[in-house]
């Protein structure tokens, strides 16, 4: 029953309702209800069961909806169902109106979205072929061609904004081409999405996970959609599980990671500093910490774009990788070495250490760099002792500009709260002066350097 204002009076009318059963970003099924007052909780469960009929191992026992604040509200009874319907069908004209008005002046209710919950777990590892398939979003279609730019460069010409078409992502939808990287925690392959023709980088990580851990990882990875609107962050296309491997599909950057190209000259470093500063600022605006800033997680392409990748949006995935691939992160902040909590300041330390390494061409702790260069190896305890006990690395002022030297100092403070936050780094003189240069010039500096570096490295 809908109360519709008509002048100073109100009339009561019967209004059909559409309940949208939400299974994923790509699969939603509309259920048209002619008489909402008569529907029962069991009716909704039966409708959900029909939608899930293709897999008899799934069974929803309740569902959720979102209130006006976006919070999830649980429905497990007829009483709670009717409260949900009444909330949805209540007039909201005083707030500007949530109904869509048709030509007759009467409102047409938007769909009421429900989220099935408490499905029975899979009997074996990923028998439901769990996956996250990310459809193109509005933000992903307006990516700037400038991953080096300040925020006032948002109106620059759009770059390559191809993304997967709506649909599931899996081994059968990808054509794997060749291996482009092989690290401690996984293998990266170049692949093409068969339907859209999009080239993607697919990172495969082998983990021993329960079904519930797989589900949690995929839910957390959906947050990556929010990051697709930033030109400083690698675009995320989707993820899926294959047996005990999680495969992450992201934008392909043809220049690879910055750690592959030796010493990075200061004109390029200034652009790197700007891009990462704005990238970290964007992540932090979403309350996401990267957790693994290092040269191998900064990518470049032949257009001159520089982007952050492999950030820890999924705490379950980060923890699982840490359990499986034991080791010490050489870019770990001092407070992390002694067991304190990870904060955004920890990302800033890793950022500063990475800039130092790229500028010098060696790990910025001299005693460790010598051992690494001599192939003698460095044990984790040596790294931790240097990080905690030694002075923070600095760039030699005789070889670098005062701007870059000071920028690194602002990042590499032993006491966490003395480091600048990402939004403060974006206002540093090095970044602001770099961003004042024409966009084409900044992209050209990086693109030309990459071309020369690739030629030298074969």
Q: Specify the CATH number for the domain of residue 218.
A: 3.30.200.20
- Which helix (H) or strand (E) element contains residue 245? strand 245-251
Identify whether residues 443 and 377 lie together within a single domain.
Answer: yes
Cα–Cα separations (whole angstroms), residue 399 to 266, 396, 408: 10, 6, 14
Least confident among 103-112, 113-122, 251-260: 103-112
**Residue 126 domain-assigned (yes or no):** no
| 213, 326: one domain | no
pLDDT at 7: 40
pLDDT of 127 over the 70 cut: no
What are the pLDDT digits (tens) for 367-406?
887 776 655 556 678 888 889 999 999 999 999 999 999 9
Q: Which of these three, 183, 218, 251, is where a domain ends? A: 251
Query: What pLDDT was estimated at residue 294?
Result: 92
Domain boundary among 195, 217, 251: 251
- Indicate whether 241 and 314 sit together in one domain: no
Q: Is residue 226 part of a domain?
A: yes
Residue 322 inside a domain? The answer is yes
State the CATH number of the domain containing residue 97: 3.10.20.90
For the chain, how many structural domains are there in total? 3
Please give the Cα distance from 97 to 95 (Å, whole number).
6
**Average pLDDT of span 439-451:** 94
Q: Is the pLDDT of residue 77 over 70?
A: yes
Any domain includes 432: yes
51 is a domain residue: yes
pLDDT at 72 over 60: yes
Residues 169 and 278 in one domain: no
On whether 203 is known to bind a ligand per the annotation, the reply is: yes
Q: Is 326 in the same domain as 300? A: yes
DSSP 8-state class, residue 104: T
452 and 348 fall within a common domain: yes
Of these residues, 292, 310, 347, 403, which one is catalytic?
292
Kindly state whether residue 317 falls inside one of the protein's structural domains.
yes
Residue 144 lies in a domain: yes
Q: Is residue 442 domain-shared with residue 387, that is, in the same domain?
A: yes
- Contacts of residue 182, defined as CB under 8 A and 6 or more positions apart, other chains included, come to 188
Assess whether 140 and 184 both reside in one domain: yes
Residues 78 and 139 in one domain: no
| Confidence (pLDDT) at 129 | 43
Whether 292 is a known active-site residue: answer yes
CB-CB contact of 332 with 340 (8 Å): no
Q: Is residue 124 in some structural domain?
A: no
Mean pLDDT of the chain: 77
pLDDT at 288: 80
Do 242 and 338 share a domain, yes or no?
no
Is pLDDT at 57 greater than 60 in this prediction?
A: no
CA distances from 6 to 10, 12, 93, 103, 268 (A): 6, 10, 11, 15, 65
Same domain? 276 vs 400: yes
Instruction: Residue 182: give the domain boundaries.
Output: 131-251
423 shares its domain with 400? yes
Last residue of some domain: 200, 222, 251?
251
């Amino acid at each position: 029953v809908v109360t519709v204002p008509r002048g100073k009076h109100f009339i009561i009318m019967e209004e059909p309702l559409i309940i949208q059963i939400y299974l994923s970003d790509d699969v939603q099924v509309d259920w048209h209800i002619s008489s909402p007052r008569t529907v029962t909780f069991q009716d909704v469960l039966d409708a959900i069961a029909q939608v899930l009929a293709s897999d008899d191992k799934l069974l929803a026992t309740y569902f959720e909806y979102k209130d006006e604040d976006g919070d999830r509200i649980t429905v497990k009874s007829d009483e709670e169902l009717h409260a949900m319907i009444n909330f949805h069908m209540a007039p909201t004209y005083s707030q500007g109106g949530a109904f869509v008005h048709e030509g007759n002046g009467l409102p047409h209710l938007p769909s009421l979205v429900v989220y099935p919950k408490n499905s029975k777990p899979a009997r074996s590892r990923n028998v439901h072929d769990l996956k996250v398939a990310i459809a193109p979003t509005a933000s992903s279609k307006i990516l700037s061609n400038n991953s080096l730019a300040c925020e006032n460069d948002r109106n620059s010409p759009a770059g390559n904004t191809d993304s997967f078409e709506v649909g599931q992502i899996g081994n059968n939808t990808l054509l794997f081409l060749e291996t482009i990287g092989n690290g401690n925690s996984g293998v990266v392959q170049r692949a093409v999405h068969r339907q859209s023709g999009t080239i993607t980088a697919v990172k495969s990580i082998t983990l021993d996970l329960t079904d519930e851990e797989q589900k949690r990882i995929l839910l957390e990875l959906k947050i990556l959609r929010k990051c697709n609107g930033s030109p400083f962050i690698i675009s995320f296309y989707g993820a899926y599980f294959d047996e005990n491997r999680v495969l992450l599909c992201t934008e392909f950057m043809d220049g690879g990671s910055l750690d592959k190209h030796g010493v990075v000259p200061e004109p390029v470093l200034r652009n790197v500093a700007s891009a990462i500063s704005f990238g970290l600022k964007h992540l932090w605006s979403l309350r996401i910490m990267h957790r693994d800033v290092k040269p191998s997680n900064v990518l470049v392409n032949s257009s001159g774009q520089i982007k952050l990748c492999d950030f820890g949006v999924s705490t379950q995935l980060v923890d699982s990788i840490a359990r499986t691939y034991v080791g010490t992160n050489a870019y770990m902040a001092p407070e992390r070495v002694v067991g304190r909590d990870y904060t955004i300041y920890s990302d800033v330390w890793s950022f500063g250490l990475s800039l130092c390494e790229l500028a010098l061409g060696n790990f910025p702790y001299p005693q460790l760099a010598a051992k690494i260069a001599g192939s003698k190896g460095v044990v984790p305890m040596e790294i931790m002792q240097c990080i905690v006990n030694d002075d923070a690395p600095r760039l030699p002022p005789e070889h670098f500009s005062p701007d870059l030297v000071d920028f690194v100092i602002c990042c590499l403070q032993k006491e966490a709260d003395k480091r600048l936050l990402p939004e403060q780094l974006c206002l540093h003189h090095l970044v602001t002066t770099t961003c004042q240069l024409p966009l084409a010039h900044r992209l050209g500096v990086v693109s030309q350097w990459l071309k020369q570096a690739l030629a030298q490295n074969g």
